[in-house]
Structure 1
Amino acid sequence: LLDQFFDHAIGINVPRSRFLPVKATSDLQLVQSDLYTLVDGFVTRNSARTNPSNSSIELGPEFKKVGSFIGRFKSIPSIVELDSLKVSGDVWFGSGIVLKVHLPKL
């Protein structure tokens, strides 16, 4: 299919262990967080993360553009212990922030 449009084109299949797709700033936050690290060219998950699924992050329209996103964080928060996050409104994050599950005392 590629060679229909480009001479001598080839396609390659890159496994998820080599990259994480970034389509929105919420994906960018995951990639920049401490949830993943790059070791010898492979994306590895932080072994401290006990939940097998990724954190669910939903950022409001104030975070949509990359420039706005970057400006709202002094540093990317730790999310190893975070299950979900929904941010809306004019929110700014300082440095050294840790976001995690909060279970109320019974």
Structure 2
Amino acid sequence: MPETYWTVRWPDGQEERLYSPSTVIKELFEPGTSYPLPDFLHRARIGLERASNRVAAKYGLACSAALDQLDRIEARSTDFNGQEGAEVTLLGISD
């Protein structure tokens, strides 16, 4: 299963490289696109849960790294709760 890395810019301008054990992220995000924070979180949840499920289907165990990444994304997003118009920009995706 090809690992995928995706780089985002958070609303505070900080960039972060994120991990997915699957290319499913490419189905949900478009490089160069900014997503309102709630939409970004929704897509990230879907993508990382699907990625974990794909690993489980292939290897019999969910991918803890994908679920850990989702936990980190959700924790980071709390920094911007209540910030009207907060957006996350997807800078790029690489295999």
- Please indicate the TM-score interval, normalised by the length of the shorter structure: under 0.3
- State the TM-score, normalized to the length of structure 2: 0.25
The structure whose Rg is larger is: 1
Structure having the larger proportion of residues in helix: 2
Higher relative contact order (CA 8 A, sep 6+): 2
